[in-house]
A and B are shown apart, each in its own frame.
Chain A
Amino acid sequence: MAELKLMKGNEALAEAAIRAGVDAYFGYPITPQSEVIEYLMAERPEKRTGMVVLQAESEVAAINMVYGAASTGKKVMTSSSSPGISLKQEGISYMAGAELPAVIVNVVRGGPGLGTIQPSQADYFQSVKGGGHGDYKLYVLAPASVQEMSDFVADAFDIAFKYRTPVLILSDGLIGQMMEKVVLRDQVERITDEDLIKTHGSWATTGKTNRNRNIVTSLDLQSEKMEARVHRLQKKYKQMELEDLRYEKIDCDDAEYLIVAYGSSARISQKAVEIARKKGIKVGLLRPLTLFPFPKKQLFELADQVKGILSVELNSGQMVEDVQLSVEHKVPVEHFGRTGGIIHTPEEVLDALEQKIITHGHFRNHKTRESSIL
């Protein structure tokens, strides 16, 4: 039976991990996501489902424990926040290269450096452009509610195993810390070792039986082989764009202006859309649920309908670059965002829309578009 509860985002994610039949969680404490490992340790999932929970000596160790368990076909995850995610990049790159399924959660805080423990979306570039070294991408899910913190865990594992690739849940300190109603999914049984060997026997290192040995590695010293590996990865990313793009359109049918926002910024922008419409301004919201793949085609099409687009993010302007690339200069695209852990209000968002897009949009569109590119 589905269960309705009032929970913190981080706790809902942890509970969802147990219920999704996850085999292991390896983590290291960092604000604002420590509730994930605290909840898991308190719940004793080894007794509920047999799930392993271990506090590693560092984020580096945690992601490599994930790498080890993932290389044997286990359903395994880790979570951290921005500085910790930077430390995990080496392991994430290795997993992308070695084609291993795993889920990584980033409850983003402000940066650079030690930054702040307050919410931020400043890790967008790191999340969608690769993050670590080499030619790879992550499938990136961006939850905007406690409900999605819970739902996206199982969804992320579906994608991770469909493509044998690491998947990132890009949350932020606001979604992780706030409490909301959440409908928890039913408990899914963990896969047995026998079924795992049957399902993943073609690649997982579970011990050599009457088959050829399995090797998990990201190393190809022959350039032709390495290029073939890179091509194989790129093919997966193309397929993700075709089959697994997720987005939500809110009030877009008659919209004259468009806000693009994900995660907590989308929640705030949705309120801004409501206020704008009360004032008679027809604004719509495009909320990407996946940041890679990105709703490029949808934005390209919406650009024929709207007069201008505002990208609202808790950073100095990162996703706005992807919005601009998608729109191909059809209409003005501007960015609005607060940083340092400050969360913009709906009124600030609407004010930015009016100032940057509605007042100046037409003028810039027709007269000075070129200089604005420079």
Chain B
Amino acid sequence: MDILEIIKPENQVFCKTKLMTDATLSYCPGCGHGTAHNLTMEVIDEMGIVEDTIGVAPVGCSVLSYDFMDIDMTQAAHGRAPAVATGIARTWPEKYVFTYQGDGDLAAIGTAETIHACNRGENIVIIFINNGIYGMTGGQMAPTTLEGMRTSTSPYGREIENMGSPLKITELIANLPGVYYVTRQSVHTHKHVRKAKKAIRTAFENTRLKKGLSFVEIVSNCNSGWKMTPNESNIWMEEHMFPYFPLGDIKVDGKLK
């Protein structure tokens, strides 16, 4: 049978996410960013809210996320995305505003903006990609880098006594009354992808219901930064990242789990 006879609409089981552009992703093959982008765009498309959605891009690997997400986006200074999102959400209370941030952006330079936007209970969604490293600048230590983990600025491994412990910012902000929904997910297997999408959907539904701040952490790999193959990095993530950053819901409907 000719291949063209098979390519028919009725045989289609999968297609490119509508709200992803045709631009080639700048992420390394094997990285979780692309999947997290896809899921976010799928949720916005399925909810039919693209006309009312404004995204805020961070500084980091996903600084160019606006090249791939086919929605209106504003690029923020390093760490300031929650403040930028606050400015948008306060002046457009009917819109869906989300930030997409990495661990350096959200949990180091932007700690103050993160905590205070959460504490005010801004009606926004924060999508937090935690891969324990600064990917874009070439693999430096992040606030979430695990103990003993080698990076270009912790070449002998993260030493707790002089570099501090990896920051569990997600648990920290979950304790703030303004935060309505906190969950930690991953996107490295089909099962986890489905759960992560459900979590992102819940977050955007919370915005619709004006419930306050929803925070979705996605523990992800950085095979380039970790100097592993994609598969090795996923196994390493399961064995090392998940015990310290356990997956699952942390706060649902404003109540701690």
Q: Which of A52, A70, A193, A208 has the most CB of B within 10 A?
A: A208
Which residues of the other chain, B, contact A207 by a CB distance below 8 angstroms?
50-54, 71-72, 95
The reply to whether B113 and A64 form a contact with Cβ atoms under 8 Å apart is yes
* Nearest CB of A to B132, in Å: 25
* Nearest CB of A to B17, in Å: 14
Is A217 in contact with chain B by the CB < 8 A criterion? yes
The reply to whether B73 and A216 form a contact with Cβ atoms under 8 Å apart is yes
Which residues of the other chain, A, contact B37 by a CB distance below 8 angstroms?
none
The reply to whether B83 and A65 form a contact with Cβ atoms under 8 Å apart is yes
* Nearest CB of B to A47, in Å: 15
Bound together, the chains give a CA A328 to CA B219 distance in angstroms of: 62
- Contact (A68, B83) CB under 8 Å given A74-B91, A207-B72, A217-B66: yes
Interface-side segment among B74-82, B167-175, B205-213, B236-244? B74-82
The reply to whether B86 and A54 form a contact with Cβ atoms under 8 Å apart is yes
Query: CB within 8 A of B87: which of A26, A90, A193?
Result: A26
Which residues of the other chain, B, contact A215 by a CB distance below 8 angstroms?
66, 72-75
Query: CB within 8 A of B92: which of A54, A60, A70, A72?
Result: A72
Query: Interface residues of B, CB < 8 Å — how many?
Result: 32
In B212-235, which residues have CB < 8 Å from any A CB?
none
* Nearest CB of A to B120, in Å: 8
Which residues of the other chain, B, contact A255 by a CB distance below 8 angstroms?
none
CB nearest to A91 among chain B residues: B77
* Nearest CB of B to A286, in Å: 38
In A34-74, which residues have CB < 8 Å from any B CB?
52, 54, 56-58, 60-62, 64-72, 74
Is A218 in contact with chain B by the CB < 8 A criterion? yes
Bound together, the chains give a CA A133 to CA B54 distance in angstroms of: 27
Q: For this complex, into which size category does the number of interface residues on chain A fall? A: 35 or more
Is B127 in contact with chain A by the CB < 8 A criterion? no
- Taken residue by residue from 62 to 102, chain B's Cβ proximity to chain A (1 for < 8 Å, 0 otherwise) reads as 01101000111111110010011111101110010000000
Which residues of the other chain, B, contact A206 by a CB distance below 8 angstroms?
54, 72, 92, 95
The reply to whether B72 and A208 form a contact with Cβ atoms under 8 Å apart is yes
- Contact (A208, B116) CB under 8 Å given A71-B88, A72-B92: no
The reply to whether A208 and B75 form a contact with Cβ atoms under 8 Å apart is no
Bound together, the chains give a CA A51 to CA B40 distance in angstroms of: 31
- Contact (A72, B70) CB under 8 Å given A61-B113, A98-B75: no
Bound together, the chains give a CA A23 to CA B86 distance in angstroms of: 14
- Contact (A66, B51) CB under 8 Å given A61-B116, A205-B72, A219-B75: no
- Contact (A208, B51) CB under 8 Å given A57-B116, A64-B113, A91-B80: yes
- Taken residue by residue from 120 to 152, chain B's Cβ proximity to chain A (1 for < 8 Å, 0 otherwise) reads as 000000000000000000000000000000000
Which residues of the other chain, B, contact A368 by a CB distance below 8 angstroms?
none
* Nearest CB of A to B57, in Å: 8
- Contact (A57, B53) CB under 8 Å given A213-B70, A215-B72: no
In A350-366, which residues have CB < 8 Å from any B CB?
none
The reply to whether A72 and B88 form a contact with Cβ atoms under 8 Å apart is yes
The reply to whether A205 and B74 form a contact with Cβ atoms under 8 Å apart is yes
B interface, CB within 8 angstroms of A:
50-54, 56-57, 63-64, 66, 70-77, 80, 83-88, 90-92, 95, 112-113, 116
17 pairs, CB–CB < 8 Å, chain A vs chain B: A61-B113, A68-B86, A69-B91, A71-B74, A91-B77, A205-B88, A206-B92, A207-B51, A207-B52, A207-B53, A207-B54, A208-B51, A213-B70, A215-B73, A215-B74, A218-B75, A219-B64
- A-B pairs, 10 with minimum CB distance: A68-B87, A65-B87, A68-B84, A64-B83, A217-B75, A69-B87, A57-B116, A205-B72, A64-B80, A61-B83
| Further pairs besides A67-B77, A68-B85, A205-B88: 18, Cβ < 8 Å | A24-B90, A56-B83, A60-B112, A61-B112, A64-B77, A64-B84, A64-B87, A65-B84, A67-B74, A67-B83, A69-B87, A72-B91, A206-B95, A207-B50, A207-B54, A208-B50, A208-B70, A213-B72
